Amino acid sequence: MLEISSDLVDQIVRHARTDHPDEACGVIAGPVGTGRPERFIPMINAARSPTFYEFDSADLFKLYREMDDLDEEPVVIYHSHTATEAFPSRTDISLASEPGAHYVLVSTRQTGQDDGPYEFRSFRIVNGEVAEETVKLI
């Protein structure tokens, strides 16, 4: 189960809306070992694409060094789908490399940049296996 504040959910959704129709991506870091998502870190999608996302490699390095310095880990790794459901694609599954993270998918396919319904779902992706989990707002 992912326990996350509604404020962080709002920030993720706002980022996804802003970048629509391109995919948005980012991390919520938290103290190592706690599983608590606390620090919202929106990332630039270096691919700037409606069908692909990738953290810029220099930004990725800075992000991991910063988390290391602060004794944090990536508790949530999020990205948006802008034309399809909020479910990991085959590419998402094959490239997932943080078995301890919650992979959050947001879909903005219904209303794009405008307010309205959205999908927000969370998954574990370990060794190519996807398991959806409950999202509990705290």
Nearest approach, Cβ of 80 to other proteins (angstroms)? Answer: 11
Query: How far apart are alpha carbons 70 and 30 in whole angstroms?
Result: 9
By CB under 8 A, residue 51 contacts other proteins: yes
Rounded to whole angstroms, the Cα distance separating 32 from 137 reads 21
Other beta carbons within 10 Å of 100: 12
The answer to whether the bond into 21 is cis (omega within 30° of 0) is yes
Considering the rule CB under 8 A, would residue 25 count as an interface residue with other proteins?
yes
**Least distance CB 57 / other proteins (angstroms):** 5
The count of residues interacting with other proteins (CB under 8 A) is 28
Where along the sequence are the contacts to other proteins (CB under 8 A)? 25, 27, 43, 47, 51-55, 57-58, 60-61, 64-65, 77, 79, 88-92, 95-100
